[in-house]
A and B are shown apart, each in its own frame.
Chain A
Amino acid sequence: MKAVVTVMPKQEVLDPQGKAIQRAAGALGHAGVQDVRQGKRFEITLDAADREKAEALLDELAEKLLSNPVIEDFQVESIEA
């Protein structure tokens, strides 16, 4: 199976990287760029008996390994057979 997981800084947490990109966009003359938030995308190939098991595995992986749950949220975007 192939799955995609995204990890983003929590909505209300300061994202210095996103802020730096937004500023740089302004420096390039794109004053219209008002806010940028930067996260991560994981493409994972896995071997799981069924979709339910895959979801459970991805949730655990995302919470314990891929994200820092204190300051980040994660989302399993897709799972394809």
Chain B
Amino acid sequence: MSALREPEVDLALAREHGLTDEEWRNILEILGRTPTFSELGIFSVMWSEHCSYKSSKVHLKTLPVDGEHVLQGPGENAGAVAIGDGLAVIFKIESHNHPSYIEPRQGAATGVGGILRDIFTMGARPVASLDSIRFGPLDDARHRFLLRGVVDGIGGYGNSVGVATVGGETQFHPCYRGNILVNAFNLGVVEADKIFKARASGAGNPVIYAGSKTGRDGIHGASLLASAEFDDTTESKRPTVQVGDPFTEKCLIEACLELMKTDAVVGIQDMGAAGLTCSSFEMASNSGTGIEMDLDRVPQRAENMTPYELLLSESQERMLLVAQAGREDEVCEIFNRWDLDAVVVGRVTGDGRMRVRWHGETVVDIPVDPVARNSPELRRPTSEPRGLREQQKLDLTAVAPEEDPDEALEALLDTPNLGSKAWIWRQYDQLVQGNTVIGPGGDAALVRIKREDGSATDKAVALAVDCNPRFCALDPYVGAQAAVAEAARNVACTGARPLALTNCLNFGNPEKPEIMWQFAEAVRGMGDAARVLGTPVISGNVSLYNETDGQPIHPTPTIAMVGLLEPWERHAVAHFREAGRPVVLLGENREELGGSEWLALRRGVEGGAPPRVDLEAEARLHDLLGRAVRVGLVDVAHDVSDGGLAVALAECTFSAPDGAALGARIELDDGIRVDALLFGESTGRVVTTTDDPVGLLELAAEHAVPARAIGVTGGDRLRIGRPGGAPPWIDRPVSELRDVWAAALPRRLEVE
């Protein structure tokens, strides 16, 4: 047994741990003494931006989190909403940006693993994943490598663990050159009265560690350790990237769900960021209790691990749970049957303190609440970025009109942002578990809900994830509103009613007032939109410091929306299904080109004000869609977003899952400039088809939604033009447009 040799703890070491002088003084006051090395590690991770949300909390508090169907809002592993008949769905989105940049395959894989654990920790069976991923331009070999690795990692983990990846979004922009984004979403199904929470109640109850063994994975402050006069452990022994094991995760899912059918579990929490430390503190703090732990009992993969390492390791596929006293053998037996380690590592106490022993020595003895709850809350200064007002000004008269709309459409469909993402999602298992009604490629995914016993229901959930970072850079308030509105609109296009959302807020360095301003504005926009659309924010994640060499990413508040559709058989799809169907446009075409793909691609300008968002009109539009699909008035609905109306219409003609093409003849006579009409990205618009245009227009009028017939499906060409005999602006065989669109990613990736 080796004696513990630890560095001397002082202010300098605290600073190296990222703690401020004020935080150091707080620690001394809380403890009434100098912390041990392990205690310092605990304070530094618990009060880190990642675990404490210290910069963001003050803003996040303003978000609407309640609703009659909300069973669990932010603060637990994930949020929960009731979907009727005693069932609930649990969902969350989370970032794994930095690890994915360092090691794309494992970084993305462990991102998927982490979000799955957040879901089944609460007692739900994970049924569907989405992934929102962003990279630099694909002419950069490094970003081709990153995209391949991330997609491989998502597929490798998700496919192996048996959870369908049913959708997502992928974008490319130079602002992500130094910081890619990997945001993973998962949704699970649970009986509403069987949701488990992170609790450690009942003094004397055993604390049980289950799952993989602990190794030296992702321990924070690795550089510090390497210089801290331990033994001569080399840097190569201290990976900051963790490797995941989906087969262990699958066993963990089944073991946990089996265990939760018994009444032996008091509370449960997965060990994610900051591992054993974060999970034990949160559980004790949630219950006003304390925990006593003996680190020698923790299953260990590496030899001679120190208490500091055991407490801060981020090894994957591990859970911490509190069981009813006397039932520990029963609990451990279930895990053992699934070939997983499970041991009692401590017990709950009533004195509100965290006491940790190692080799008979007390290495941690601190009060729980001041660490878990009284974490710092900062009001960082905000200021509008200089030059933003100038950037928002766009004199349309100075923008040369599009000379060749036909060519412009083809050029847009050929961009990686608007082109087909099939190269990506073909690598994902979209069907496992057998509930996917609409998979990737539509506006929203649609997934049937089954009970845990396998019996069917007539419910389905619609899932969509959206953000337009260019809008957010130009105006974070409007951009965040647009993200919420678009995600809800996508969900509504299936016929589902948007229920609630989860968000992943990816921003730059919050210590810069301009970044903090972007953050505050985006949260304000998201909150306003969520309130009007009646979709509370039930979970989320904040990822700050996404910048390299002082270059921040565009503000990227990713919004994942969940809606409910019942009965699921009656739903709309995003591609034209039948020839001879009238095409009806819902919403208004406005002369808005600010922040559009067209402006960036054809005029090289990323400027102007983003299209305005009329939230009340959006809410009416979503209601109308739900009603129209339910009564059978609408069988196709596709939202107009990136690339504008022409791109949306083109997508309707060729995006059928079986690759079938069905043309349309469209006539538009809005009195606005033609490029804005075809490629402007005004919000609140949906292309639909119907067999009863009169009925649909009447229903739209009832909902005060502007609507008009703009053409009819049929043939093998897409023609868009003015009414009358004038030559059309766009007149192309659908198959040609489809080939360009389909090749956008492969032709850029298949170069090596």
Contact = CB atoms under 8 A, between A and B. Distances in A.
Interface stretch (B7-15, B240-248, B503-511): B240-248
Nearest to B105: A68
A45 to B, nearest CB: 24
Interface string A14-51: 11100110010000000000000000000000000000
A11 B243 contact: no
Contacts of A14: 212, 215, 217, 242-245, 301, 315-316
Contacts, number: 50
B236 A68 contact: no
A71 B239 contact: yes
Contacts of B242: 14
Contacts of B216: 12
Nearest to B316: A14
Given A68-B103, A70-B103, A71-B106, A12 B247 contact: no
A11 B237 CA distance: 6
B567 to A, nearest CB: 42
Contact of B247 (A13, A16, A68, A71): A16
B302 A12 contact: yes
- Grouping DSSP codes into helix (H, G, I), strand (E, B) and loop, the B interface class, with mixed when no group exceeds half, is loop
A14 B216 CA distance: 9
A73 interface: yes
Nearest to A70: B103
Nearest to B212: A14
B238 interface: yes
Contacts of A68: 103
Nearest to B309: A12
Nearest to B103: A70
Given A68-B103, A70-B103, A71-B106, A12 B238 contact: yes
Interface residues of A, number: 15
Contacts of A12: 215-217, 237-239, 301-302
B339 interface: yes
A18 to B, nearest CB: 11
Contacts of A73: 236
B456 interface: no
Contacts of A71: 103, 106, 239, 241, 243
A9 B106 CA distance: 13
Nearest to A14: B243
A68 to B, nearest CB: 7
Contacts of B243: 9, 13-16, 71
B102 interface: yes
Contacts of B102: 70
Nearest to A15: B243
A19 to B, nearest CB: 7
A76 to B, nearest CB: 16
A26 to B, nearest CB: 10
Interface string A45-81: 0000000000000000000000010110100000000
Interface string B304-324: 000000000001100000000
A16 B245 CA distance: 6
A20 B215 CA distance: 17
Nearest to B317: A14
Interface in B205-224: 212, 215-217
Contacts of A16: 243-245, 247-248
A10 B237 CA distance: 7
B217 A70 contact: no
Given A13-B215, A70-B102, 16 more contacts: A11-B236, A11-B237, A12-B215, A12-B217, A12-B238, A12-B301, A13-B217, A14-B242, A14-B244, A14-B245, A14-B301, A14-B315, A16-B243, A70-B103, A71-B106, A71-B239
Interface of B: 102-103, 106, 212, 215-217, 236-239, 241-245, 247-248, 301-302, 315-316, 339
